[in-house]
Amino acid sequence: MKYITKHKIFQIIAVFSVIIACASCEDLFEQEAGSKVTPDLHYKTVTDLAISMDGIIAPLQQGMANWIIADGLLSDLMDVTENNDIHITALNEHSYSFDNPYLNTSDFYKVIINANEVLANIGRIPEVDPKFDDYYMKQYKNSIVGMRSWAYFTLAKIHGKVAYIEDNLTEIPANGLPYLSKSEILDTLINQLTPYLHLDDDLVETFFYGFINTKELLGEIYLEKNDYANAVTYLKLGVESYGNLKSLYKLNNEYDKYDWSGIFINAEDNITENICVIPFDSDEGQYNPLTKLTLPSDLYLVKPSSTIMKLYAEQFPLKGDQGDLNRGIGASVDTTANNKPYINKYALEDTKPYSSDIIISRAADIHLLLAEALNRMGDHETALVLLNDGFKALKSPPSEYRIWSTNLGVRGRAYLQNRTVPDDVSDITEYIEDLIIEERAMELAFEGKRYFDLMRIAERRGDPEYLAGRVYKKFNDKNKGQAVKEFLRNEMNWFVPLNK
């Protein structure tokens, strides 16, 4: 397994992209005067290329923080506090406006533009470094196209459509940018990702810090399309990346029981679990905005909903008192001395809480997506193995999961009792799917996944109530809750309007 040099995050501003807040997608192309690093002066070494790749993901320090807040409030994981903020309150009540900073998705478009800039200039590297051959070119392009595809995929799930920026586009066409529906962009992304996938076991696969795993991403795109066979293929390939080591992405005992919180402490370095991570370092002036928004000692604008607090409290460990003792109180959430609940996931680094990283993708996320796809294919048994106590608990794991022999499963790693299917259940597939989505709520709380999960299942089943009913339950004010419920019963209202 090869690793590129790890760099501190900072922004390389492309010749044609300006990293500024914008009111619409096309504003991204408006330039301000100032000094810029031009490609002919910058791309002299592989190190220059690596620095530019850091620049691709730099906008996500703010972009992901915004979306995590939006995800929590639009779904059933977060609620507002007494420290009223009009934008936070509006989100919680599904009132959309273009001036709401948490709904500003321009940072995802910056990722796309910056990726295009690097792709347009990566061909300069072989001219100065003959060792940068076709193998390395494909590896780098795989990661760059993968990160760009992830940004498009995320935008499509937020807005239901995307403004599509052609490769290497440096100015707006006379007729403006084309807009693609979610289904159109998903097919486009599959076609763009597939040629760069690393599928040759005879060659070493390069790992890039902070970047998405393209096989996992492709599997997630197929899952969004309800193509379960391809989803299983590529999600499993994602878990088995970089040599398919037993110690990598297999949910072994490295973060089991009370060590589960360790996933989020210096998350960027925890590469056996965490795949795509946006780092922060308060010593370098990079403060995670989520810590400020969630701690009672700071702004405390949002808090965990009663729904997620109740869900953690209702779990049964293998031994000991009731409750999710390793992922709930003291980990993802906590309470003050006067029993005020707060989100703790972004304050677990005791000495430098504002340096907590944001995880975009990690092993448990892929395991549960894989379980979801397997369940939909009718393989309920393997889906429950991944959800519960893993392949290690089996006397004889299936041959295709032989290397997964140390796998503890998601609940097994958290030291929780297995979930089972009662004999009188009429629809086993939907019952297990509900268990998986509920588990994702607890395992991945406040990581920006929940609203997408609820939309995906509601759309798959043709049942808006799946989303609307769950969001309704978090409201203490049932009149407000009912208004939101009625709003979400219309599928067109699930998506945040895109400012064109």
Band the pLDDT of 23: cuts 50, 70, 90: very low
Three-state DSSP class for residue 271: coil
State how far the Cα of 388 lies from the Cα of 297, in Å rounded to an integer: 36
Instruction: For residues 111 and 12, give the distance between their C-alpha atoms in angstroms, rounded to a whole number.
Output: 11
Which pLDDT belongs to residue 21? 31
Domain chopping of the chain, boundaries: 2-211, 277-357
Q: Using CA atoms, how far apart are residues 162 and 25, in angstroms rounded to an integer? A: 9
Per-residue pLDDT, 207: 87
**What pLDDT score does 27 carry?**
53
What is the dotted CATH code of the domain comprising 2-211? 1.25.40.390
Res 48 pLDDT > 60: yes
Q: What is the pLDDT of residue 170?
A: 54
Are 263 and 356 in contact, with CB atoms under 8 Å apart? no
Which of 152, 153, 137 lies closest to 219 in space, CA to CA?
A: 153
Average pLDDT, whole number, for the chain? 91
More reliable by pLDDT, 39 or 320? 320
Q: Are 53 and 142 in contact (CB under 8 A)?
A: no
CA dist 211 to 198, 233, 420, 458, 473, Å? 15, 21, 36, 29, 36
pLDDT at 1: 28
Q: What pLDDT is recorded for position 3?
A: 31
User: What's this model's pTM, rounded to 2 decimal places?
Assistant: 0.93
- Mean pLDDT, residues 462-477: 98
What phi and psi values does residue 334 have, to the nearest 5 degrees?
-160, 175
21 touches 242 (CB < 8 A): no
pLDDT, one tens digit per residue, over 58-117 is: 999 999 999 999 999 999 999 999 998 999 999 999 999 999 999 999 999 999 999 999
pLDDT higher than threshold 50 for residue 474: yes
To the nearest 10°, the Cα dihedral for 424, 429, 435, 440?
180
Q: Give the pLDDT band (50/70/90) at residue 25.
A: low
Q: Residue 22 has what pLDDT?
A: 37
What is the tens place of the pLDDT at every residue in 191-241? 999 999 999 888 889 888 889 999 999 999 999 999 999 999 999 999 999
**Rounded Cα distance, 108 and 226, in Å:** 25
Report how far apart, in Å, the C-alpha atoms of 447 and of each of 77, 189, 291 are.
10, 23, 13
| Mean pLDDT of the region 458-482 | 98
- By mean pLDDT, which of 40-54, 127-141, 322-336, 469-483 is the weakest? 40-54
Q: Retrieve residue 230's tokens.
A: 């391809």
Q: What is the pLDDT of residue 172?
A: 65
Percent of the chain with pLDDT over 90: 83
